[in-house]
A = this chain, B = another copy of it.
Amino acid sequence: MFKRKSIWLTAIALLLACLPAMSQTKKTFTLNDLLSGGDTFWNLRPKTLFTAWWGDCLVELDQDEVRLLTDERGRKTEPKALFHLSDVNKALGEGVASDAVVRSLYYARFPEAGKPHVLLTTARETLLFDWQAGKMLRRIARKAGEARDLSTASYSEAYVRNWNLYVATADGREHQVTTDGSRELVYGRSVHRDEFGISKGTYWSPDGSKLAFYRMDQSMVTDFPLVDIAHRVAQPAPEKYPMAGMTSHKVTVGVYDVEAGTTVYLQAGDPTDRYFTNIAWAPDGRTIYMIELPRTQDKAELVAYDAATGERRAVLYTETHPKYVHPMHPITFLPWDDEKFIYQSERDGYNHLYLFDVKGRELKQLTSGSFVVTDLVGFNEKTRSVIIRSTEASPLRYNYYAVSLKNGRRTLLDGGTGVHNATLSASGAYLCDRWSSPDVVLKTDLVSTAKATQLNLVTSADPWEGYAVPEVTCGSIKAADDSTDLYYRLVKPVDFDPTKKYPTVVYVYGGPGLRNVDESRHYMMRGWEAYMAQKGYVIFVLDNRGSTDRGLAFENCTFRHLGDEEMKDQMRGVNFLRTLPYVDMDRLGVHGWSFGGFMTVNLMCTHPDVFKVGVAGGPVIDWKFYEVMYGERYMDTPQENPDGYASSSLLGKAKNLKGRLQIIVGYNDPVCVMQHSLSFLRACEDTGTQPDYFVYPGQEHNMMGRDMIHLHERITRYFEDYLK
């Protein structure tokens, strides 16, 4: 008995002794767990479904099976396989080469509602498979090429090979559309350095009979001498890079008529110093619309062209702004009325929708208010409503709304919390909505756009359960204008002790087009922040004025002097940190990439007594080294704005550097070319300051793959070496 009791006591004592230890034995993250280049990253992401729309039915895509999830009336179905991978490959017949076999169904598309047809591709063919008949409806050989663009109306495919544009038609014929393509004369590719929302160079007409395509003459543009070291002897890899104020490329738009085999060019006039953006087809395929800007970017014109002749028909709408206009969305026609379309504009201070007719008459403003419409997702044809995503519920949230075309009433569809990302079904009746919020890991809901109801399909478990996850909070402070609300995220060290003082790193981007704080899971915390919290750092992230989705004035207050207002706001953030007793102001660091690299170097050199350690990735150092499209939008040209360029340049501030600053770049960065960082090093060398430097050969503007891990080990080590 005594013995037994003693064992019990011992056990209890052991248990008690273990309790604090047990609370400590939460699993810790490695960088491999937290960054997308890591081996274990995907294991620690919330599990979700791969889905696609088949008409209004939602299907789940799997490696070797496609299953129906919801029916055309938005009702959950019993899990039911529509077809299997083996069905597809059986239909391909015997003796098919290994690279001609379909390997997974993850990329299946369903081009026609109601028909049991699935579109698949292999390295060799485009396939249209009828899973009910169990046979191939189409097998179209894929020609060698890049920048592929398939019309699911005609099954014609456009692609680029050796700088020339080709079209392969469903009958297997190859049309060579252009013959004089070269590195200097580029066809069928994205132009204007991917600004104005441009991400591709070919645009099929709705019926797939005509192809609008970009032609970019960049023979007059200066080469930036990039170098590829992945050969025994490094090779020149020059990049056509028009720097601010210098000669830019000339873009025109051709229209290829597949059946006639002829090309006409849109008669837009002299393309010198002009931007041709946001190409859209009329539903009948007879008219092409573009939004055109002069190089000054202070005017946008919506112009209609005859697709058959290239004739310039009319300027339907003109918008000007003394700073800049920034069209990012092609016009969108109403599915039930080919005479009306929606134009998106920031003219009242926020991106909103405006209804026009094809004569250019403005019929009405569809949305308004101090919030931003971030997406026009589509339409519910039955309810005559347009489905949008906006920040109306809160500047930190992204929610879906149906906007009635009849009365303008907006109906919140998704509950109004968190950050939502959805795809719309064929008729617009349903959204497949994936969303999270600070308290919701990830949910996938089927949302009825008519009834504004949500049917939960999956609630993902927290894959970070059992890990030492830091406390993440969000709040607001006033900007340096003393009126604007700025939102921050604050990540506290794991095992936070309020009586201690912690080294603190400000993470910053701060430029237009991006934000870092919203009400998604963990307020948008990046994996590296959780890692640093484990190591005992406070991380502070503040979206300053100049960043995105807060409206035009919030963004364009930085016009012609990038960096100034942004830094003032970040210093308000620093003042806020001063009020936190656990922030050690003697151990304050800063880190950012790209525009955030510019901010990091700027903060280190402008406030050398505040920031002790900085890591700047791919930084802009002087806007005169940046490209024409983005650079001149925010800064005008160096000729027009010499003072702004001079005062925003970090070359003159290199001499102020006191703390430890490491600059890291991709050796093959074609966006923020090495001229920036190397010129800064030269300026430091000339003035006797000592930055640190690192390069990733073969990497471009952002480090990809395994190098992400290497990079963040490096960044972490730098703070550990000098801030801790």
Name A residues whose Cβ lies closer than 8 Å to a Cβ of B: 222-225, 227, 229, 232-236, 238, 241, 243, 246, 624-625, 667, 673-675, 678-679, 681-682, 685-686, 688, 690, 692-698, 706-707, 709-710, 713-714, 717, 721
Minimum CB distance partner of A638 in chain B? B232
A243 lies within 8 A of B232 (CB): yes
Given A229-B675, A232-B624, CB of A693 within 8 Å of CB of B694: yes
Given A693-B693, A693-B694, A695-B681, CB of A227 within 8 Å of CB of B225: yes
* Separation of A123 and B267 alpha carbons in the complex (Å): 60
Residue of B235, B241, B690 near A233 (CB, 8 A) is B241
Minimum CB distance partner of A685 in chain B? B710
* Separation of A233 and B244 alpha carbons in the complex (Å): 11
Q: In the assembled complex, which residues on chain B have CB atoms less than 8 Å from the CB atom of A721?
A: 721
* Separation of A693 and B710 alpha carbons in the complex (Å): 14
Q: In the assembled complex, which residues on chain B have CB atoms less than 8 Å from the CB atom of A625?
A: 232
B233 lies within 8 A of A222 (CB): yes
Residue of B624, B710, B717 near A688 (CB, 8 A) is B710
Q: In the assembled complex, which residues on chain B have CB atoms less than 8 Å from the CB atom of A694?
A: 681, 692-693
For A229, A236, A625, A698, the residue with the greatest tally of chain B CB atoms inside 10 Å of its CB is: A229
Q: How far is the CB of A240 from chain B (nearest CB, A)?
A: 11
Given A225-B236, A233-B224, A233-B241, CB of A682 within 8 Å of CB of B697: yes
Q: How far is the CB of A373 from chain B (nearest CB, A)?
A: 39
Q: How far is the CB of A627 from chain B (nearest CB, A)?
A: 11
B693 lies within 8 A of A681 (CB): no
For the complex of A and B, list the 6 residue pairs with the smallest distance between their C-beta atoms, beginning with the closest: A225-B236, A678-B697, A682-B697, A225-B227, A229-B678, A222-B233
* Separation of A527 and B512 alpha carbons in the complex (Å): 50
Q: How far is the CB of A244 from chain B (nearest CB, A)?
A: 10
* Separation of A235 and B678 alpha carbons in the complex (Å): 13
A692 lies within 8 A of B692 (CB): yes
Oligomer copy total: 2
B714 lies within 8 A of A690 (CB): yes
B710 lies within 8 A of A681 (CB): no
* Separation of A645 and B717 alpha carbons in the complex (Å): 34
* Separation of A695 and B681 alpha carbons in the complex (Å): 8
A707 lies within 8 A of B685 (CB): yes
Minimum CB distance partner of A624 in chain B? B232
* Separation of A710 and B654 alpha carbons in the complex (Å): 14
Q: In the assembled complex, which residues on chain B have CB atoms less than 8 Å from the CB atom of A707?
A: 685
Given A243-B233, A688-B710, CB of A696 within 8 Å of CB of B681: yes
Given A227-B225, A688-B710, CB of A234 within 8 Å of CB of B675: yes
Q: In the assembled complex, which residues on chain B have CB atoms less than 8 Å from the CB atom of A713?
A: 688, 690
Q: How far is the CB of A124 from chain B (nearest CB, A)?
A: 32
Q: In the assembled complex, which residues on chain B have CB atoms less than 8 Å from the CB atom of A693?
A: 693-695
Given A678-B695, A682-B697, A707-B685, CB of A234 within 8 Å of CB of B229: no
B243 lies within 8 A of A679 (CB): no
* Separation of A625 and B233 alpha carbons in the complex (Å): 7
Q: In the assembled complex, which residues on chain B have CB atoms less than 8 Å from the CB atom of A225?
A: 225, 227, 234-236
Q: In the assembled complex, which residues on chain B have CB atoms less than 8 Å from the CB atom of A223?
A: 236
* Separation of A423 and B698 alpha carbons in the complex (Å): 53
Q: In the assembled complex, which residues on chain B have CB atoms less than 8 Å from the CB atom of A697?
A: 678-679, 681-682, 685
Q: In the assembled complex, which residues on chain B have CB atoms less than 8 Å from the CB atom of A678?
A: 229, 234, 667, 695, 697
A717 lies within 8 A of B695 (CB): no
A-B contact pairs, 26 of them (CB 8 A): A224-B233, A225-B227, A225-B235, A227-B227, A229-B675, A229-B679, A232-B243, A232-B624, A233-B241, A234-B674, A234-B675, A234-B678, A236-B238, A678-B697, A679-B697, A681-B694, A681-B695, A682-B697, A685-B696, A685-B697, A685-B710, A688-B710, A690-B714, A692-B694, A693-B693, A693-B695
